[in-house]
Amino acid sequence: MNDSQNEQTLLVIKPDGIMMGLEQEIIDFMLSGGLLVVERQEILFDAVMLKEFYPKCDAPPDVFEKLILPFFLSGKSVVLLFQGPYAIALGDKAKKYFRAKYQKSYFGAILHASDDIQEKDRELEVIRASLKS
């Protein structure tokens, strides 16, 4: 089996997606693509974790403090690790599909999906480290 057949990807259902009740619909979307749920965690991001998770966030500090951080503090997020054929590509497809269908504003964005395997590994490390502390 080649690597693309056994890929993993990380999805984060953001607070707006959770508040809209989209978790099962997102899981079903991924399962219908032949993936398996390997791990599921509920988390509440804090400022430090959020900055580590999104290190390339180029939002000005006031935007981060007044919009992005309060959005993530508004409710839990659900982290899902999926595995199976072309997981990264299917995660990207899910992100685009659910944002197009449900997104109401720039801040929120319903769903995060890892862009590549290296990003998935780094993001998963941030999540797991925060759960230990």
The answer, as to whether pTM is greater than 0.75, is yes
Would you state the pLDDT for residue 63?
83
Would you state the pLDDT for residue 106?
62
> In whole angstroms, what is the distance from residue 31 CA to residue 108 CA?
24
Would you state the pLDDT for residue 97?
95
> Mind listing the pLDDT tens digit for each residue in 48-75?
999 899 887 777 888 888 888 899 999 9
Would you state the pLDDT for residue 88?
96
Domains of the chain: 3-132 (3.30.70.141)
Closest CA to 116 of 2, 4, 1: 4
Residues of the chain with pLDDT under 50: 1
> In whole angstroms, what is the distance from residue 15 CA to residue 122 CA?
21
Would you state the pLDDT for residue 1?
47
Rounded (10°) angle between helices 23-32 and 87-102: 140
